[in-house]
Amino acid sequence: MNLIVTSVLAVALVTATITDIKSQRIPNWLTFPLMLSGLATHTVFGGWDGLYFSAVGYAFGFIVMAIPYFFGVMGAGDVKLMGAIGAWLGLNATLTAFLFTCIAGGIYGLAVLAMNWQLLVAVLRNIGNTFSVLVATHKFNFAPIATEKTLPRLCYGVAIAVGTVTSMALHAWMTGSIHTGY
């Protein structure tokens, strides 16, 4: 089972990374079959317990990424990809993958800011403005300062791939197995 999980996710993550970098999209033709095959594989190998394991992982992965999506900072493909990864990894490994994805995404975002000083200055002004409004009114009201330059889009599929691979490696190292069982 570990070889199946590793192989399927390796192919899917490489494909998602490439498509995200090239077109800034993670397509449904990748995410839906990945999710369905995760649910089906765990059901075949683990019965109802396997289906539960996979469904809970899917739900968690989908929900934690849907929250930033609803705030407009995440793409729908990223949400579906993390849900599909959850269908393969289950809850525990998906939680770890999500945490490492957040770290990788933060580093990625900081690297983009560090490479663009004008953008960094605009972001710092926005943070300062928001903090000033918070101190003066005791209300959090994010009102970004308009800039001439548009914000770059981050290809978050890259961060998801890094976070997932890191999670899988950590689980393999700690337990001797990627699959955490049902």
Identify the pLDDT of residue 18. 96
Residue 71 DSSP label: T
Return all residues near 24 (Cβ < 8 A) that are at least 6 apart: 75, 153, 155
Q: What is the mean pLDDT of each run of 10 residues along the chain (182 residues)?
A: 87 96 95 97 95 98 95 92 97 96 94 83 84 83 64 87 94 73 62
Identify the pLDDT of residue 151. 65
pLDDT tens by residue, 59-105? 999 999 999 999 888 999 999 999 999 999 999 999 999 999 999 99
54: left (phi over 0), alpha (psi -120 to 50) or beta: alpha
Tokens of 82: 């993390």
Burial (Cβ within 10 Å: 0-12, 13-18, ≥19) of residue 78? buried
What's the distance, Cα to Cα, between the start and end of the chain in Å? 12
Closest CA relative to residue 168, chosen from 104, 96, 117:
96
